Amino acid sequence: MKSLLMRCRECRRYTLRRDKCPYCGGELKVPHPPRYSPHDRYVVYRLKAKLVGEQP
């Protein structure tokens, strides 16, 4: 199911638009976290990507 609510990365306001923020023109993202599943096949790849991103 697609999320209707979007959040601007710059001004952090919520909107229903999907292309750009109507207030500042910034990029939008989905504010909800992904669903959790104990049978997630990609958890290893996400953890590796997260650890690589934390290193300076």
| Res 29 pLDDT > 60 | yes
pLDDT tens by residue, 10-19: 999 999 999 9
Domain boundaries, the chain: 1-32
CB atoms within 10 A of CB 21: 20
Q: 12: phi > 0 → left, psi -120 to 50 → alpha, else beta; which?
A: left
Q: What is the pLDDT of residue 15?
A: 94
| Res 21 pLDDT > 90 | yes
Q: Which of 20-24, 29-33, 41-45 has the highest mean pLDDT?
A: 20-24
| Res 20 pLDDT > 70 | yes
- Residue 40's pLDDT band, with cuts at 50, 70 and 90, is confident
